[in-house]
Amino acid sequence: MKQTKIVLSDKEIPTKWYNIMADMPNLPKPPLHPGTKQPVGPKDLSPIFPMALIEQEVSRERWIDIPEEVLDIYSLWRPSPLFRAHRLEAVLKTPAKIYYKYEGVSPAGSHKPNTSIPQAFYNKKAGIKRIATETGAGQWGSAMALAGKLFGLDVTVYMVKVSYSQKPYRRIMMETWGATVHASPSTMTNSGRKILEMDPDSSGSLGIAISEAVEDAASRSDTNYALGSVLNHVCLHQTVIGLEAKKQLELAGDYPDIVIGCCGGGSNLAGVSFPFLYDKIHGKNLRIMAVEPTSCPTLTKGEFRYDFGDVAGLTPLMTMYTLGHDFMPSGIHAGGLRYHGDSPLVSQLYHDKLIEAKAYHQTAVFEAAMMFANTESIIPAPESSHAIRAAIDEALLCREEGKQKTILFNLSGHGYLDLQAYADYKEGKLMDHEHPEEEIKKSLAKLPKI
Ligand SMILES: *Cc1c(COP(=O)(O)O)cnc(C)c1O
């Protein structure tokens, strides 16, 4: 029998997260207060985050201990499996070796519980009773709802309205785990009411939902805010993915030439790649690739500058690749990749050319998803399928050039709650959309000058 699944024992779950800020050649510029435009200190963030997470946000320690209580819950699905994609390789007739790390085995079906669990833990420990957060298609909301249930925190989720009405199953999942879900823009917050006044039919965006959740958290002392991507501590928590993958590849006697992750806010890419970036920064020759949709081309078409994380401008200004915080994405199926900005860490590393980026149309992405489902059997999330597309193209290039490379990609989640997207693809209803350059320019022109 061919070795297709490489597993680690429970005892091999990493006990520390890897903090890339200890090793980056250039650190991101400090976040700025949205009002004063001065660097934010821990005090500015303490109304919405617990101190333990604020410390992780700025820490330069290379290794950070994972609390015992978090490891206990991680062990429900970690270590996650690493697979060698023998069947996909055979269909592609490629000399390349393709491996994928599968994060769809978590109870919420994606990598997001890797961070929702520690975030809930640190909030609970700080005496917080309630978490307010946002969600796009519902993956983050469901991961946070799960974490809230496990640690006894109430969770309120502002869910982008278009997904709230079109993707009921994730909402039901959140409610099953006890969360309260509002369609955003909602009438619960000033930010939501303001948007509804201007446009009563607004279908919402991640940027609007973040404004609502931050406002909710800032206005109540028993409530904190939680973000599912972008921030340094989120990327930190996700490094369990890459740390495990490194051990698993070692067991297989391999090391990647290319590490690929889809990129929405950057957290699963950070998770799979940062432990390998440590080697790259220290002289090893390998490529790291971020894959995004052409309809939300943050890295490939955005600008590297200070921007807000939300529409209302309530969050600190952070240096990142951005399309402008009032960017309104087209309704593509990869909901998790429709964010105007990117993680400051991923952005800085891309700026410093340690990470490369590529954008794909969604029909090309679904073609790859179908090929993957029909060879490797798992039906992948539309987001993850961006990484699959890039891995397939790299493998085809290996065939053309007669090179045997090792490719690793992160399969960030399964697509069992995204089957409508597959139906639309089969019926030829998926449109390819390129975000117009003028729109990007217009949106960027409105940013504060710093
Ligand atoms: C949320 C999500 C993403 C995008 O978020 P990142 O922070 O870029 O990882 C990708 N894949 C899945 C399955 C998701 O749920």
For residues 149 and 5, give the distance between their C-alpha atoms in angstroms, rounded to a whole number.
31
Both tokens assigned to 422: 């597959």
**pLDDT value at residue 331:** 65
> What's the N-to-C CA distance of the chain in angstroms?
60
Residues 6+ apart with CB under 8 A from 406: 96, 97, 99, 249, 254, 255, 256, 257, 258
Q: Which of 296, 301, 297, 298 is nearest to 338 (CA)?
A: 296
* Ligand 1 pocket, residue 417 CB under 6 Å: no
Query: Which parts of the chain sit beneath pLDDT 50?
Result: none
Q: Which of 294, 343, 341 is nearest to 447 (CA)?
A: 341
Residues 6+ apart with CB under 8 A from 17: 63, 64, 66, 236, 237, 239, 240
* Ligand 1 pocket, residue 413 CB under 6 Å: yes
**pLDDT value at residue 441:** 87
CA of 268 to the centre of ligand 1 (A): 6
SS3 320: strand
CA of 449 to the centre of ligand 1 (A): 30
On the CB side of 17, how many CA atoms lie within 13 Å of its CA? 28
Both tokens assigned to 20: 């890339």
**pLDDT value at residue 440:** 86
* Ligand 1 pocket, residue 263 CB under 6 Å: yes
Contact 223, 217 (CB under 8 A): yes
* Predicted structure pTM score: 0.97
CA of 140 to the centre of ligand 1 (A): 8
* Ligand 1 pocket, residue 133 CB under 6 Å: no
Exposed, middle or buried: residue 36 (CB in 10 Å: 0-12, 13-18, 19+)?
exposed
* Ligand 1 pocket, residue 336 CB under 6 Å: yes
